[in-house]
Amino acid sequence: VMVFSVDIEWIAEDKAYLATSKDIIGLVVGAETLPEMMESLTKLVPILLEENHGIHLGEDDSHELKLSTNLPAGVLLGNVTAA
């Protein structure tokens, strides 16, 4: 299993969330809400992994997306809970 970390932080002055990743080249996503963020990540991460890393996320692959955030523990991010 390969794990890719995505950092999500709340930017108070912009009133928006920002997602970046040291593991996924080119990932920079902004969104006003967490559901919007998760929708964007769900669409963008597989594209970036394939284009920039040569990794295709097929149904039988065992890749995992790990989220690390500065959000309070227990905040729901789609079907993932912040740790």
pLDDT at 61: 58
Question: Does position 73 have pLDDT exceeding 70, yes or no?
Answer: no
Question: Does position 81 have pLDDT exceeding 60, yes or no?
Answer: no
**Gap between the Cα atoms of 27 and 69, Å rounded:** 15
In this prediction, residues 67-75 reach a mean pLDDT of 65
10-69 pLDDT, tens per residue? 888 999 999 999 989 999 999 999 889 988 988 898 899 889 988 877 655 566 666 666
pTM recorded for the entire structure? 0.74
Spatial neighbors of 70 by CB under 8 A, at least 6 apart, are: 7, 8, 9, 10
pLDDT at 83: 46
